[in-house]
Structure 1
C-alpha cells in the first residue's frame, strides 16, 4: 500500500511552519516465516508457517518441481490462518511446498516449506499371472500409485502366516520361486511409499502349485529280468516312482514291477524273460505325485534254454527236448547243428521246447545246441551242446517166425529184436517196428499187410488159399533182412526157397 509523508516545524508557541513537499513510499511485502510441509494421507498434504506482518491471508501451493517460485502448481489453498491443506493430489508423489503472504494490494514472495511425499495407496486385485510347479508370478493393480512405486510381496504356507519377504520390486508384478508342487502357498502385497513406509497389505491369495510330470525318457533292457528307465527331472519332485506294465494304458493298472529313486534313472528287476513291458514314471514329493510320463516299451531278453537232451535217435533223425527256462509261450527257439563241433548252422526254428531234426546220415556225428529269440529279434545265450552219433548198424533179423492156427484164424509171432546185427543192445526207449508182408508166391512180390511194435500179428482170418508170409524189423530207420518165408498151412512151414509145401528147415526155436 502507498504511503506519503510531509514534515513541518512547531515553534515554541505551538505554531506549525509550512509543510515540506510530500514524500511517498510503498512498504514492501514481508514473506511468511519459516515453515514445513507434512503428509496427511494418500492425496492430502498440510503446510504451516510463521505469520507475515500486514498479511490478511496466505496462499499455499505445492509443485512436483522444486523451483521457487513454483511454475508447475499441482494444487493450492487460500487461508487466513498460518496453516493449510491441499487435497486431490497423486499418491506416493513428492511435492514441494510454497506459501505467500497477501493483502488487498498484492502478495509477498514465496517462502519454501520443503518437500514431502503423499502416502502410497494399497495395491488392489492381487492375482496369479502364471503358476508352475516351483514358481508363481503375481500381479496386482497399482491403484493410482505412480510407475516407480516399490512393492513388497510376502509369502507364507497358510493364510494366517507367518509371512516372509518373497520379492521387492518396482512395478505391478513379481515372481516367487522355490515353491513345491502340491504345497499351499499364500501371498500378499503392500506398496512402499517414498519414506519407506508400507501400506496395509492386500488380502492373502493362496495357490497350490501343480505337479509337473517328468520329462521325456526311455526304457532299456539290462537282462532277462531287468529293465532300466531314464527321464528328465520334474520341477519340485523329491523322488520318482518308475513302474512297468504289460499293458500300454497310462496310467498303468497292471503293474508288473516298480522302483522308487531320487535319481532320474532307475531299474526294475524280477521281471519275466522275453516279455514286452511299457514304462511309466511320475514325480513325487511329500504332498503327492504328478501324472505319469510314458517311457515307451522294451522287451526283456530271452533266457537261454536249459537241459538240452535227446529223446530219440534214429539213423537219419534225432528228437530233442529242453527246458524253456521261464520263457513264455510263443518264444521262438533256434536249433543249430554242426558236424565238426565248431561251425554251427541254423537247422530249425520252433516255438516248442521239443523238436525232431531229420535228414541226417546213418553213422553221422552231429553237435546240437539251442538258443531263444525274444520278441525284438535278439537271441539269448546258448544251451548246453549235445553230441549225437546216428546208428549205422541194422537190426538183427527176427527169429522163430511161426504161425499158430485158431478157429478160422491164424496168428503169426516171432522173437523180439533187441540188438543190431553186431549184437549191440539198442539204447533205452528205442522203438522197434515189425513189418509183416505176404504174397501169393513164395518168391513174391510181397506187400506189407501190417506194421506193429509187438512181436506178433493176428489173429487174422484165413485167406482161403495158401499165402506166404515174411517179417523184417525196423529200428532208427534201418531195416533188418527179412525172415525166411513161411506159408499159412498148418503150423507154418518154411517153404522158401523150396517148392511150396515142402518143409526144408525146422522152425527156429522149436
Structure 2
C-alpha cells in the first residue's frame, strides 16, 4: 500500500478467489463507523490495485478489503494496518502585518486538520535561506520579531505529519520591514573650553552618538553660536570682541531633534595687550602714565609693574588688577627724587587671565621740586597758592598721591590758598601744608596763625586741620598735638566756628554760632592738665543759702576742657559742648547719669548743665552761657526728695533765661506743674541723675503767663514734695 496526502494505492492478494471476483477497499478514520473513502475493482487473478481518493491529509485511517460474490454478498472485512496520509503543503502565504522590527506571516492549512491541530515550521531568512530562523507552531500564523528595519525577509512553511513525515516547503513569500523613525542622538559630554584668544574661543566635547547630523554650540538663551559637522569634537567661535563673556552649551542634532548637554560653560575671550604706554607727566615723587586700551572694553582692569633695573631682579606692582582700575591712565606715587624707573602695563580678562606685558618705558624723576614765589599764583595740590615774594615753596607727593608743600620764609610773609585759608608765616618758620580743595592741614613746630572769614586760629605747635564752607568753619587739633589753641572771633562773624580737640578719650567739640559774642574777642580753648577737685556734694550758694543736708553727688571723669577769654568776654547765647568718651573712662557708671558740669569758681563748686546723652554713640552734649572749666561728670541721683530744689527762681524770661532746673531728685521722679488755681500746666520727668528741666511752656508748647506755679514732685516709694516756681516776663 502506498499513501499520499489525499489518496492511497492498495495492493490486494486474491487469496483463492477466482479471477473476476469483485473486490472493495474502504478507508475509515473512526473504526468504520463511517467510511471516508471506498474503491471497487475486479480480481485480476494476481495483484489487484485499487485507489482510495478524497482522503484528508495528515489523517490516520484504517484500511479494510472485501470480496463480493455474484449475488452481491460480501465477505468479512480484511483489515490492513492503520496508516496516515501525508501532510499537505501549506499554501496562501501572506503578511498580515509588518513593523520596523517584526512581521506576522499567515498561511492556509490546505486541508491539514485543525483539530487536533497540525504542527508547522515557519522559517525566515534575509539571505535566501543560507541562514534562517525557524519556529514550530500549531497556529496558522507566526510573528517574527527582533528584525532589522528596512530589510527584505523571505518566509517559507512546511507541515509535520502524524507519523513523523513532513510536507514539502510552501512557496517562498518575501517582504521588507518598515524604515525606523529617526532617534535623537545621545547628548555630548565633557564640554569644555580648549583654546581662547582675544577674538575667538574654541570649545571641545566628547561625541557619544553615531546618528547625529551635526552639533550646535548654543548661547545661554539657546541662540546659535555655530554648527559643527557630524563626528566633530571641537568648534571655534570667532569674530568676538576682546574680553567678551560667552555662556555656551553643546547639543547634538538630527531629523529627530536635538539633545543638549547639561553643562553650561561661561568664559571670556582674552583681553588685548595694552599698547603704546607713554608718560603724561613726571614729578619728583610721582609719574602719570597713559596707554592704548587696544579696543578692550571699559570694564577691563589693568596692572602696572614697576622696576628700577628693567625688571631683571627688582619688581613691584604699584597698581594691581582691580575693578576700580579700568581707565587707560594712572598716577604712580611714592617715587624717589632723581631715581630711574621702568614701567610696563598688562590687562586682564573677566576670568582673571592676564595678557602679555606692553613694552617697558623708562624715565628719571626730577631731583628737588622747589620754587621761589614772585608774588603770583602757583599750583598747590588741589588748589592754588599766592605767596609773598621770596617765600620758598617745596612740593612733595606723599605715598597716597596727595601734594604736601613746605613753606619757608626768611621774613614774616603771607600765603593765601584758593580755598580761602590764609597763613601768616613768622620769619624763619618752616610750615608743612597739605592743600586740598576743601581745606588744608598745617603742621609746624611754631605757631602759625591761620585765618578764614575773619576768624584767626593758632596752636603753639603740632598739626591743625582747617575745613571752611560757606556757613561753617571747623578747626581740628590732631590727637598727637598739645590740646591747646587760640581763636580770635569777630563780633560780626557770619560762620559757625567749631573747635575740635582730640585727646585719647575722644573728640571734644565747641560750637560758636554767629553773634555768640557781643564784641571781638580771643578765646583760649584747651584741655587742662587737671580739674578742680569735685566737692562731695554740689550746691548753689550763688543762688541762695547752701543746703544743710546731703544732695546729689558729682564724680569727675577727667574728660573736659577749659574756655577762657583774654578780655573776659562771655557768650550772649548758649554754646554747645560735645564730649566723646571710652567705656574705660566711665567704668562702673550708668551712662545715663553722665552730665556736663561747669566749674563755678566763685563758690568752688561744679554745677550741672543742661545735658543730652547718646549712650550708644558714647557722646554727651551740654550747653553753657558762661565760659569756664567744663568736665564730663557722673551725677548720682538723690536718695530722697528732702533736698529737692529748683533754680533759677524766679525765672526771669526778660533777662534771656529760658528754663528752670529741678535738681536733687530721685531717679525718674515725676514733676507735675500747676497754676496757683490748680490747673495742670505740664508734666515732666527727672532723668537717671535726678535732674529735670522746664522751659516755661505748657503741654501745647506755648509760653506760660507770668506768675506763681506749684511743682508737685513724686519720687520713689510714693514720696512727695512741693516747690514753688515764679515766672517773670
Report the CA distance shift for 1:193/1:313 in structure 2 as closer, same or farther (over 3 A).
same
Give CA deviations for 1:252-299 in whole Å, capped at 9, x if unaligned: 12x3x31433442232222233344333344455x5753333554152
The Cα shift of 1:193 comes to 1.3
Report if aligned partners of 2:404, 2:433 keep a CA contact under 8 Å in 1.
no
Q: Kindly tell me: are residues 449 and 243 of structure 1, through their superposed partners in 2, closer, same or farther at Cα, counting changes over 3 Å? A: closer
2:63 maps to which residue? 100
| 1:412 CA drift (Å) | 6.3
Q: Does 1:336 align with 2:305?
A: yes
2:122 corresponds to which of 139, 146, 149: 149
Matches within 5 A, 1:70-219: 78-80=36-38, 82-86=52-56, 100-103=63-66, 104-109=76-81, 117-119=89-91, 122=94, 124=96, 126-127=98-99, 137-138=101-102, 140=104, 149-151=122-124, 169-170=133-134, 172-176=144-148, 191-194=155-158, 195=169, 197-199=171-173, 207-219=180-192
Partner of 1:149, secondary structure, is strand
The Cα offsets for residues 127-177 of structure 1, whole Å up to 9 and x where unpaired, read as 55xxxxxxxx436588999685213579xxxxxxxxx99x96435213316
Match of 1:363 among 338, 353, 361: 338
CA deviations over 1:417-441 (Å, ceiling 9, x no partner): xxx99xxxxxxxxx99998345557
For CA contacts below 8 A with separation 6 or more, give which structure has more relative contact order.
Answer: 1
Q: Provide the residue aligned with 1:270 in structure 2.
A: 239
8 Å CA contact 2:185, 2:253 repeated in 1:
no
Q: Which residue of 1 aligns with 2:196?
A: 223
Matches within 5 A, 1:254-269: 255=224, 257-268=225-236, 269=238
Matches of 1:414 and 1:147, distance apart in 2:
130
Equivalent pair of 1:123/1:189 in contact (CA under 8 Å) = no
Partner of 1:47: 7
- Per the alignment, residue 310 of structure 1 pairs with 279
Alpha-carbon deviations, 1:319-352, whole Å to 9, x = none? 3333333444443333222221123333322331
8 Å contact from structure 2 (residues 216, 250) kept in 1: yes
1:267-416 matches, cutoff 5 A: 267-268=235-236, 269-284=238-253, 287=255, 289-294=257-262, 296-297=264-265, 299=267, 300-342=269-311, 343=313, 344-347=315-318, 348-351=320-323, 352-353=326-327, 354-399=329-374
Query: Counterpart in 1 of 2:214?
Result: 240
- Retained in 2: the 8 A contact 1:311–1:320? yes
Question: Which runs of no fewer than 5 residues in structure 2 stay unpaired?
Answer: 14-22, 40-51, 67-75, 108-116, 136-143, 159-168, 378-384, 396-402, 408-414, 417-421, 438-450, 457-729
Determine the C-alpha separation between the residues in 2 that align with 1:302 and 1:441.
54
Change (3 A) 1:346 1:412: closer
Q: Whole-Å Cα distance in 1 between the matches of residues 245 and 310 of structure 2? A: 35
C-alpha distance in 2 between matches for 1:316 and 1:340: 18
- Is the CA contact (8 Å cut-off) linking 1:335 and 1:368 kept in structure 2? yes
SS of 1:350's partner is: coil
Counterpart mapping for 1:400-439 below 5 A: 436-437=415-416, 439=423
Conserved 8 A contact 2:62-2:79: no
Asked whether the equivalents of residues 26 and 35 of structure 2 are also in contact (C-alpha less than 8 Å), the reply is no
* 1:241 Cα deviation after fit: 3.3
Change (3 A) 1:382 1:98: farther
Q: Distance in 1 between matches of 2:353 and 2:86?
A: 89
2:427 to 440, 443, 446: 443
Q: CA RMSD in A?
A: 5.0
CA contact (8 A) 1:334 1:370 kept: yes
Quote how far apart the aligned CAs of 1:215 are. 2.9
Count of residues in correspondence between the two structures? 343
1:86-127, CA deviations, whole angstroms, 9 ceiling, x for partnerless residues?
A: 37xxxxxxx698773444523224678666543486565545
TM superposition shift of 1:58: 1.8
* Residue 232 of structure 1, CA deviation: 0.8
Q: How far apart, in 1, do the equivalents of 2:453 and 2:265 lie?
A: 72
TM-score, normalised relative to structure 1: 0.53
